[in-house]
Amino acid sequence: MSVGVIGSGKFGLTLSKIISENANKVTIFTRRDNEAESINLSRKSLSGFVLNSKNVRATCAPNDINDCKHIFITTPSHDFSKVVEKFTFEGEEKVIITCTKGLEDNTSRLMSEILLDDFKLDENKLVVLSGPNLASEILNKETTATVLAGKSKSVLEEVNNFLKTDYFIPYYSNDTSGVELAGALKNIYAIVSGYFNGMNVGQNTMGFLLTKSLEEMRLYSQSRGANLSTFLGLAGVGDFFSTALSPDSRNYQFGNYLSKGFSVEESLQRVGDIVEGLRTSKIVYEDCKRKNLNLKILKFLNDVYSRKEDYEGAKKLLFSDKFQSDVSKD
């Protein structure tokens, strides 16, 4: 039986390549007929991504994915529900792995929460994949770890068998929401990192900024029931620092362009791809207002979008008149 991958973006194709090279058949769902044709005829996506294995095929027919027992979802968060509703996830043996990092507009729901609430998935058959996983480095076979989070250890072991190689190494967790929140929130603060880096601040300032950014990630996630220890692992610190310090990160690049005085629209145009952190930062900011959470780095970023803040405000952002505890226990 084939493994299904919904989404033909770079990460979806990267996972397809790994799974197929582990001697599994893979069916990729794409919404573009010409993309499916290119993959099936030339083993190459329209973007030039090469899939050497004959175990891979592409389709535009949702029913081809419905026949798969294990299905990886890699579609962007803004399209998540619209794409997922095309499929039928029925069957006691079916396992769904969501790799999408983001939250839903208005509700602030995670992708796993959408799958559980709207599509009535069995939580024991739901897995979240997240970690420091830059697709370009995985393709170069740089040693990379990821986290598989779920309620059933046996299900996690099934998914591990599809993915584990000598360069791509899964770990497991039972904190589904914590792993997923960490993956979504790090995109926000990668924008912040790119913004400050674009202003040529020193390493002391960057260390200060990134530490306080991680604290804001923790505070918000704890308000949603996540486990603090998750943020000390690969899905938290690992993913955050690899993204926040990487010039290859789209979120980092976006923040860097903002620091040069470009508008949100101009910065997006220069990145030339989806910047998940932009949308997520607005959703989380509104949710923090509802929760009475004062996350000042997050507020600063949202003010940058509307040009209420700039370099002068950035210099004052981390300053406090109060003598504060280093590590908050709240």
Per-residue pLDDT averaged across 204-233, rounded? 93
pTM of the shown model:
0.92
Q: Do residues 251 and 243 touch, judged by C-beta distance below 8 A?
A: yes
The DSSP call for residue 306 is: T
Chain mean pLDDT for the chain: 93
The share of the chain scoring above pLDDT 90, in percent, equals: 87
- In this predicted structure, what is the pLDDT of residue 311? 67
Phi and psi at 8, nearest 5°, equal -115, 30
The label of the residue with tokens 């999408």 reads 100
Rounded Cα distance between 130 and 52, Å, is 25
Known catalytic residue: 186?
yes
Domains of the chain: 3-175 (3.40.50.720), 178-317 (1.10.1040.10)
Rounded Cα distance between 231 and 235, Å, is 7
DSSP string, 196-208: HHHTT--HHHHHH
For residue 329, pLDDT beyond 70: no
Q: Do residues 127 and 149 touch, judged by C-beta distance below 8 A?
A: yes
Rounded Cα distance between 219 and 210, Å, is 14
Per-residue pLDDT averaged across 40-50, rounded? 93
Per-residue pLDDT averaged across 125-151, rounded? 96
User: For the segment 270-285, what is each residue's pLDDT rounded down to a tens digit?
Assistant: 999 889 999 999 999 9
50's tokens: 């090469």
Long-range (24+ apart) CB contacts under 8 A made by 295-298 are 295/216, 295/219, 295/220, 297/189, 297/192, 297/209, 297/212, 297/213, 297/216, 298/188, 298/216
CA 175, chain centre distance (Å): 16
- In this predicted structure, what is the pLDDT of residue 26? 97
Per-residue pLDDT averaged across 36-40, rounded? 96
Q: Choose the catalytic residue: 186, 212, 299, 322.
A: 186
